[in-house]
Amino acid sequence: MREDIFRITGKEKGPTSIVLAGVHGNERSGIEALAALLPTLAIQAGELLIGYGNPRAIEANQRLIETNLNRMFFQDSARPSKKERASYEYERAQFLKPYLKEAGALLDVHASRTPKSRPFIICEENAKDIIEYLPIDLVTTGFTVIEPGATDGYMNTIGNIGICVEVGYFGDPASVQTAKESIIAFLKARGHIPNDRERTTQSTIHMNDIYITRTDAFVLTKMFDDFEEVAEGQLIGTDGDQEVRANKNAVIVFARNQNSIGEEAFILGEKKNPA
């Protein structure tokens, strides 16, 4: 697995964009999509950067080697902990940052560990003119604020456009096809190749609350599907001997049992414009 960045240049002037896959090494959907597309991929205008986010984790088929690469992207290099700054993932983030700064827009392809997960987009309002051409009908906003350190959030904080696509369960072959279609649609929306796509009717959920564990024993009451509705006061899990309940009617995503203090246990969001 190559650690450098591929660069594809069109014959005409145009924007610079970047596509990443494998920021989490066991999320194979985007990795397989790039492997299928790269041999024949060409663009007409601008410049396209393509890279594998975490090559060592990809080789090991693990989510990470030492720490979560998708929490290592900050303008302030001292933001991660001293232990994190000594990690391979922190070093990899520093390598990738100049390419992110060079590109006007990013598409970062991820996949879910949850079998019933549906595809969705993570972005902010500045990505509207791009995401409306992607083949995914659910959009989430707010992650830049509540979950800092991701590639897409970093792009937004430096004045560029950051888009993450979650293409579904990584064990489902359909997620690879969604990844391929999303990459091609992104290139069309960015003007690298002619855009013949229709706009997608999309609904939006704004993510506005994250629960961070206070003990090393957070246990869910059940395995929640991504975007499952929860009611105000509903018991979501226990953190040590403390009950953790939903503080409002919401939808829940990324709900996970955790065994360390300071981990992301779940995120709550509010539907904005159901399709």
On whether both 35 and 70 belong to a single domain, the answer is: yes
One-letter amino acid for residue 4 of the chain? D
pLDDT for residue 151 is more than 90: yes
pLDDT value at residue 274: 53
Instruction: Write down the pTM of the prediction.
Output: 0.93
- Domain assignment present for residue 112? The answer is yes
Q: Which two tokens stand for residue 179?
A: 């990844």
> So what's the pLDDT on residue 1?
58
Q: What is the mean pLDDT of residues 129-151?
A: 96
Going by C-alpha positions, the residue among 241, 270, 244, 242 that lies closest to residue 255 is 244
Q: Which residues are CB-neighbours of 202 under 8 A, at least 6 positions away?
A: 121, 131, 132, 136, 137, 138, 139, 275
161 and 76 belong to one structural domain:
yes
Write the DSSP symbol of residue 10.
-
SS3 57: helix
Please compute the mean of the pLDDT values over residues 80-100 and round it to a whole number.
Answer: 95
Residue 214 located in a structural domain = yes
Query: Do 87 and 160 share a domain, yes or no?
Result: yes
Query: What percent of the chain clears pLDDT 70, i.e. is strictly above it?
Result: 98
User: What is the residue whose two structure tokens read 């509207």?
Assistant: 128
- The average confidence (pLDDT) of the chain is 95
Cα–Cα distance between 149 and 155 in angstroms, integer?
Answer: 10
Residue ending a domain, choose from 158, 189, 220: 189
What value does the mean pLDDT take over residues 220-231?
A: 94
Among candidate residues 142, 162, 189, the one where a domain is terminated:
189
Same domain, 159 and 229: no
Instruction: Tell me whether residue 178 is in a domain.
Output: yes
- Does the pLDDT value for residue 226 go beyond 80? yes
* 173 within domain boundaries: yes
74 has pLDDT over 60: yes
**Which of 189, 214, 239 lies at the terminal end of a domain, its last residue?**
189
Longest Cα–Cα distance of the chain, Å, equals: 62
The answer to whether residue 198 sits within a structural domain is no
pLDDT band at 78 (very low <50, low <70, confident <90, very high): low
Is a pLDDT exceeding 90 seen at residue 75?
A: no
Residues 134 and 257 reside in one and the same domain = no
Report the pLDDT value the prediction gives residue 67, as an integer from 0 to 100. Answer: 96
Tell me how many domains the chain contains.
Answer: 2
Average pLDDT of the residues in 102-116: 93
List the 203-212 sheet strands across, edge first: 6-9, 45-52, 12-21, 105-112, 161-169, 120-122, 138-141, 203-212, 264-271, 250-253, 228-230
Residue type, position 212, single letter: I
User: Which residue segment(s) compose the domain that 228 sits in?
Assistant: 206-271
pLDDT (0 to 100) of residue 227: 93
Domain shared by 106 and 212, yes or no: no
Q: Are residues 73 and 170 in the same domain?
A: yes
**Three-class secondary structure of residue 161 per DSSP:** strand
